[in-house]
Amino acid sequence: MIESRSPRRGRWVVLASVALGVVVAAGATAAAEQQEGLVTVSESGGISEATTAAVAALGGPVFERHSGTLRMMSVSRDGEPVQAFEAGMGVPMAVSSWDGSSAVALLGEPLASTLQGDGVVMSIRSAELRGAAVGDMIVMEGWNGALVELEISAIVDDVELDWAEVGVNRSVADSLGLDRVSSLATLGTDGDAALLRDQLEVPFVRVSGPGEEVDRTDFVLPTVMVKQRFGEFSFRPTRGDGIEIDPEWEEANIVTVDIPPLGLFECHRLVVPYIRSALEDLRSSGLLGEIDSNDFQLAGGCFNSRLIRGGDKGFALSRHSWGIAIDINPSTNRYEGDVNLSEGFGQTFRDWGFSWGAGWVRPDGMHFEWARIDVPEERACSTSTMERSRIPGVSWSIVERTRPCR
């Protein structure tokens, strides 16, 4: 559903109605993937010139999506704060932009028309997180350091924005320095998609043809769904890739636990029971010995508040900042390196709702991130939960679950 107000008349109108579905999509839009004749291309770290040239060589129109993470510094209504943070703090927001023709092709009308204005389109889930409404003003901090005040011109179903929290046109994106092309689409066939894969020969490019089924086994949750499940926090960058996050959120959600053979570590309290369950299954199957406890303590771990390293620019946060990702045996399973954990080991974590970085376009064999993708019904809710501990050095303990899952 698109709820919008005309910027010139202040008139409320309902433009369209679309069923809301929980579809985790990456690259080109979920709607676009269903359109016959559309070839979609995404590339980890942004679309390169070589990839752009190869897509253009197919001879059809090329549609672009620019995406990245910006910071939202405040939300106000009639001059009064709806959501505000301490000075210098802001919340991460997944933002996408399209030019006119790309918006029409990938998003369809009437959303493309809504984006022609100088306001922002916000997703329903993101609006609910902060109590925002059409007509509210938000202040966004761009990659270029600019602080830009924008009006929420519409609130739409998340799937319509392909799980971006905020959608803007190219003019607004330029004012915020959002200049990274994250995905391309063009008219073509499955044969064209196969040709692109052969021509590019780049391991970090993902190509999908109009009739091909996308393997989502190791896809991760959209940022807005991470926030809904684990909480939204404000942050400020510090030195290097470090960040300072809201201490109240950290106190309420990050716990210290001791789980053999990993030892003592910090993690989000809602994820710990699933890690524990995965480890118990590894023990039962004889695979627990693959874990190097010393390596985990020296270079692994779970909670680590920081930006993504070596990838997106701007304010893209590592899922370690939420404490929902865990790195195991990092010394022998380096980012973009060989994967030395067994398939059975990784599948056990998948069975308990984790995405395994070994299946990513840029492999990250050490990384297991809670995504709850294709979790069997009997494992959709761990039999254990957390409660505050009296053990010195351990803030919370794992106990048998006596209440329903969240």
Give CA–CA dist 68/315, Å, rounded: 8
The reply to whether 173 and 289 lie within a common domain is no
Q: 359 and 254 share a domain?
A: yes
Residues of the chain with pLDDT > 90, as a percent, come to 74
3-class SS of residue 337: coil
Q: Are residues 143 and 233 in the same domain?
A: no
Q: What is the pLDDT of residue 394?
A: 58
In a domain, 214, yes or no: no
Query: Is 382 or 207 the better-scoring residue by pLDDT?
Result: 207
Amino acid at 180: R
Q: What angle do CA 167, 218, 179 make, to 5 degrees?
A: 30
Give Cα separations from 103 to 5, 62, 64, 71, 112 (angstroms): 19, 12, 9, 23, 5
Examine residue 218 and state whether it is found in any structural domain, yes or no.
no
Residue 235 and residue 198 share a domain:
no
* Claim to verify: residue 13 and residue 143 sit in the same structural domain: yes
Determine if residue 306 is left, alpha or beta; phi over 0 gives left, psi from -120 to 50 gives alpha, anything else beta. Answer: beta
Predicted local confidence at residue 192, as pLDDT: 93
Residue 47 CB neighbour total at 10 angstroms? 20
240 within some domain: yes
Distance CA 221, CA 398 (A): 25
State both tokens at 230: 């684990």
pLDDT at 249 (0 to 100): 97
* DSSP codes joined into one string, 223-244: HHHHHHHH----EEE-STTBEE
Rounded average pLDDT over 249-276:
94
pLDDT digits (tens, 9 = 90+) for 335-374: 999 999 999 999 999 999 999 999 998 899 999 999 986 6
Query: What are the DSSP E strand ranges found in 179-225?
Result: 181-187, 205-208
Model pLDDT for residues 40-97, shown as the tens digit of each residue: 999 888 899 999 999 999 999 999 999 999 999 999 999 999 999 999 999 999 999 9
Q: How far is 113 from 29, CA to CA, in rounded Å?
A: 17
First and final CA of the chain: distance in angstroms?
A: 27
Mean per-residue pLDDT for 278-295? 97
> Encoding tokens for residue 107?
């998003």
Q: Is residue 405 part of a domain?
A: no
The two three-digit tokens of residue 77, written as one number: 């209504």
184 lies in the same domain as 156: yes
Domain contains 406 = no
Name 270's Cβ contacts closer than 8 Å, sequence gap at least 6. Answer: 229, 230, 253, 324, 386, 406
Is 215 a domain residue?
Answer: no
Residues 6+ apart with CB under 8 A from 221: 24, 229, 371, 372
Cα–Cα nearest to 315, from 157, 180, 137, 150: 180
- C-alpha 82: how far from chain center: 24
Domain containing 278 equals: 223-400
CA angle 86, 88, 89 (to 5 degrees): 60
* Euclidean distance between CA atoms 282 and 27, whole angstroms: 33
Q: What was the pLDDT predicted at 45?
A: 81
pLDDT score recorded for residue 382: 67
| Higher per-residue pLDDT: 241 or 149 | 149
Q: What separation in angstroms does the CA of 176 have from each of 25, 138, 172, 187, 320?
A: 24, 13, 7, 30, 26
Query: 385 in helix, strand or coil?
Result: strand
DSSP 122: E
Where b means 16+ CB within 10 Å and e means fewer, 210-220 reads beeeeebebbb
- End of a domain among 179, 208, 237? 208
Domain end point (choices 178, 208, 238): 208
Do 249 and 367 lie in one domain? The reply is: yes
In this prediction, residue 342 carries a pLDDT of 97
**Is residue 217 included in any domain, yes or no?**
no
Q: The whole model's pTM is what?
A: 0.84
Domain count, the chain: 2
